[in-house]
Structure 1
Amino acid sequence: MSAARPDRPHLVVIGGGFAGLWATRALAWSPLRITLVDRSNHHLFQPLLYQVATAGLSAPDIAAPLRHILRRQRNVGIRLGEVEAIDPQARTATLADGKALHYDYLLLATGATHAYFGNEQWAQHAPGLKSLDDALELRRKLLLAFERAEACDDPAERAAWLEFAIVGGGPTGVELAGTLAEIARHTLRDQFRNINPATARVRLIEAGPRVLASFPEDLSEKARRQLEKLGVEVSTGVPVTDINAGGYRLGDTYVHSRTIVWAAGVAASPLARSLGVPLDRAGRVPVEPDLSVPGHPEIFVGGDLAAVEQADGSPVPGVAPAAKQMGRHVARAIQARLQGAPARPFRYRDFGNLATIGRMAAVVDIHGIRLSGVLAWWFWLAAHVFFLIGFRNRLVVLLNWAWAYWSYQRAARIILGREPGSARDAPPPP
């Protein structure tokens, strides 16, 4: 079967994340020609993205080229590009280069981006973490902070460089804060001459009453205690009200900080607006029970872009297992359409919540089974290695984690890129 067969119905999948890739793979033997469009050439295992940002893993350890993953699936063609608009009436998806892809079926799975709750000017001072580019830039920012503190003669300015703030107490914020504290207190020990990295202040800020709000309250409290044991200062119940180049305002208090990370919220991909259908407050598409768009049964939405309710009325969470399940469901729905049969409604299976806090510390909630500490940490490790794509990635991640466990060192602690406006960026003299 070839992706070039013009007599086959054409499915366009926008987004090579969990929903898009799982749908594509599930349709390997379907009488379709599939075009998978993504602005990156790789599939990213986002749950471990913070490990790249904190120098525990390298970018290729948690990503794999889409062409390699789908190399044996002959009914798929891959297009590297960004879709700028969708015309449901003409059934076209227009790319940034002006070319239009005509589809018979469409899966929109472009995920989510950072949400600053109307304060978009904060983005330049408090970057978020959604892509490998974000992770590499954040790694650079975190490691450079220690270098800038080492070279600084002004005690106040040095303290600002060693003041780290993670805004958002969800899993990403918790994992970043715990890992950053370990780096400061263990990985960088005895490696500087003018500063003691262990004096770095790592603050996790959550506007709500507790961190890990999606977990049971007792596990949330255990996570807080484990963070504080690692040296993280946890602040809850008070929101950040301003962020600028010099620091942030927490309630009525201004804190001088040169390193602020945003992990507080997400907003749906703006591409959903071109569908011309009502969206929810986060910009997601409220879909039909089979994940199709109201009024457009040929268009499906999956992953973080879909607003889906469970049987009890609670929303399906924006996590990787949910996106995978949506992708597989869309594949089954399209197969049913091809056979002239009705598609079944989507049913989300909740496998539980996992979050790691640091070395030998994690929390796990699986159908009422609640674990914390060392046992939860081992469970978290096993689950994440199991769900990585590719034997090489699993092996490399295991080796890196084993080395980090025994040595406290982080193999990817390399600062890449250059300062804007540096001498190397200047044009040569005439």
Structure 2
Amino acid sequence: MIIGAGFAGLETARRLASVPVRITLIDKNNHHLFQPLLYQVAIAGLLPSQIAQPIRTIFRKQKNLTFQMGEVSTINFDEKYVKLNGSVIAYDYLVLAVGGRTNFFGFDVIEKEGFQLKDLETAVKTRNHLLRMFEQASHEGDAEKRKSLLTFVIVGGGPTGVETAGALAELISHVMVKDYPRLNLNEARVVLLEAAAHLISSYPDELRQATSKLLKKKNVDVRLNTKLENYNGQEVTLLDGSKIETQTLIWTAGVKATEIVEGLNVEKASAGRVRILPTLQLPQHPETFVIGDAAFLEENGQALPMISTVAIQQGVFTAKNILRLMKGQSPASFHYKDPGLLATIGRNAAVARIFGISFSGFIAWVIWVFLHIYRIIGFRNRIIVLFNWAWDYVFYDNQVRLITKE
């Protein structure tokens, strides 16, 4: 049984395709989501259907897999069963790959008043709001209120925050200026707040500096060592007492374990993640594997990051260890192979570290584009996304600026 059809769960299921086992894959959604491109939906660059693929379509030819859509309410590790939508399903091996959710660090008001990028629903909600701000500003006579409508605050200087800030700044300077010729978009501001001393703190220093320069070239107001104290839907209050008038706050500052993981009686670590063995197994329950964002595993004194490349590698490795257990062999220990670092800051602008070499600019951007195209699920989606990006590159024009019902 595999719970979760994200990167980790998907890879586990795929690697067991030719094995004589019966797989039950469970997810609360009927689609696999390519989360690294959610921000592109939020800034009207891509449609939701272009970064998601129906799970039944993905596994249409895999005869040993059954998909069930629903939310697991109970997991009994001792008796080896789960409860799903009122029914009970037993398992021999369990793979818990449930991902994570947004961590607001106790800022409940931000969860209510702000925006996040965690799934298709929140990305579409963010897109609709951003587009409404431009519509309202286009007929707002009060200069101060118009400035508030055109001020966009992003909290969190990690890869998602950096990419969102760069893409939003380009949307304003390349696209909205053509859609709203009578609106003075010199009043528009994109403000990126980061509590630490650096953006993308897990990256090498030369890439941090390159990222800051690229964002500033796009007129993003980057504020480091800046902590948020409150937000009421109209005004951001910072810890130093200063305020930013805005009706848009996009939170990209953290991830934590999901509700189902929160309720498990197992040892937890930071962000509520489950402590696991190097073999990716749950202590005392060797038939259970916890992988992806739900899992906490240290290597060289550092916790593995909650990113897709870790999840994919753990999914592949989990399938191998299940085969070892089925053959009566001892499971092996997982070791993460870092494929490098990549983040885009917009058109012709990205930072990368590959094979120990750091570089930025156009070449890094090209690598980012083709790597993301390659990893999107579904040939049709790859072609559509590549076409959309090519169109945007040539004509400076996003194609999907639609305000839709939520």
Q: TM-score, normalised by structure 2?
A: 0.97
- What corresponds to 2:264 in structure 1? 275
1:390 to partner: Cα distance: 2.0
Give the distance between the partners of 1:279 and 1:100, measured in 2 at CA: 26
1:125 to partner: Cα distance: 1.4
Structure 1 residue runs of 5 or longer lacking an equivalent are 1-11, 419-430
1:259 to 2:248 alignment: yes
1:338 to partner: Cα distance: 0.8
- What corresponds to 2:101 in structure 1? 113
1:313 to partner: Cα distance: 1.8
- What corresponds to 1:172 in structure 2? 160
- What corresponds to 2:26 in structure 1? 37
1:340 to 312, 328, 332: 328
Residues 273 and 188 from structure 1, CA distance in 2 versus in 1: closer, same or farther, beyond 3 angstroms?
A: closer
1:291 to partner: Cα distance: 0.5
1:88 to partner: Cα distance: 1.2
SS at match of 1:190: helix
Contact 1:88 1:275 in 2 (8 A): no
Q: What are the Cα deviations for residues 160-211 of structure 1, in whole angstroms up to 9, with x where unaligned?
A: 1111000000010001101111111110113225522342110011000011
- What corresponds to 1:102 in structure 2? 90
- What corresponds to 2:297 in structure 1? 308
Give the distance between the partners of 2:403 and 2:15, measured in 1 at CA: 39
Give the 4+ runs in structure 1 shifted more than 3 A. Answer: none
Return the letter of the residue paired with 1:46: Q
Give the distance between the partners of 1:282 and 1:316, measured in 2 at CA: 13
Give the distance between the partners of 1:134 and 1:328, measured in 2 at CA: 29
1:408 to 2:396 alignment: yes
Contact 2:194 2:223 in 1 (8 A): yes
2:277 to 270, 273, 288: 288
Return the letter of the residue paired with 1:293: L
1:363 to 2:389 alignment: no
1:81 to 70, 89, 97: 70
**Number of aligned residues:** 405
Give the distance between the partners of 1:57 and 1:305, measured in 2 at CA: 28
Give the distance between the partners of 1:196 and 1:43, measured in 2 at CA: 40
Give the distance between the partners of 1:130 and 1:323, measured in 2 at CA: 16
Q: What are the Cα deviations for residues 315-351 of structure 1, in whole angstroms up to 9, with x where unaligned?
A: 2111111101101111111111111111101111100
1:157 to 145, 148, 156: 145
Q: What are the Cα deviations for residues 54-109 of structure 1, in whole angstroms up to 9, with x where unaligned?
A: 111111211111101101111100001111221112212112x2122211111111
Give the distance between the partners of 1:293 and 1:361, measured in 2 at CA: 41
- What corresponds to 2:205 in structure 1? 217
Give the distance between the partners of 2:243 and 2:166, measured in 1 at CA: 23
Matches within 5 A, 1:170-209: 170-192=158-180, 194-209=182-197
SS at match of 2:303: coil
Return the letter of the residue paired with 1:321: T
Give the distance between the partners of 2:184 and 2:66, measured in 1 at CA: 53
Contact 1:37 1:78 in 2 (8 A): yes
Return the letter of the residue paired with 1:399: F
Contact 1:267 1:282 in 2 (8 A): yes
1:129 to 117, 123, 127: 117
2:57 to 35, 48, 68: 68
Q: What are the Cα deviations for residues 300-325 of structure 1, in whole angstroms up to 9, with x where unaligned?
A: 10101110112x12121111111011
Contact 2:104 2:110 in 1 (8 A): yes
> Alpha carbon RMSD of aligned pairs, Å?
1.2
2:364 to 376, 392, 415: 376
Contact 1:70 1:76 in 2 (8 A): yes
1:393 to 2:381 alignment: yes
Contact 2:206 2:358 in 1 (8 A): no
Structure 2 residue runs of 5 or longer lacking an equivalent are none
Return the letter of the residue paired with 1:158: R
Task: Name whichever of 256-265 and 48-57 sits farther off.
Answer: 48-57
1:281 to partner: Cα distance: 2.5
- What corresponds to 1:422 in structure 2? none
Give the distance between the partners of 2:179 and 2:14, measured in 1 at CA: 47
1:273 to partner: Cα distance: 3.1
SS at match of 1:160: helix
**% identity of equivalent residues:** 42
Contact 1:226 1:357 in 2 (8 A): yes
Return the letter of the residue paired with 1:75: N
Contact 2:147 2:187 in 1 (8 A): no
SS at match of 1:275: coil
Q: What are the Cα deviations for residues 226-271 of structure 1, in whole angstroms up to 9, with x where unaligned?
A: 1010110000001111111212112211211001100001111121
- What corresponds to 1:15 in structure 2? 4
- What corresponds to 1:240 in structure 2? 228
Residues 350 and 193 from structure 1, CA distance in 2 versus in 1: closer, same or farther, beyond 3 angstroms?
A: closer
1:145 to 126, 133, 153: 133
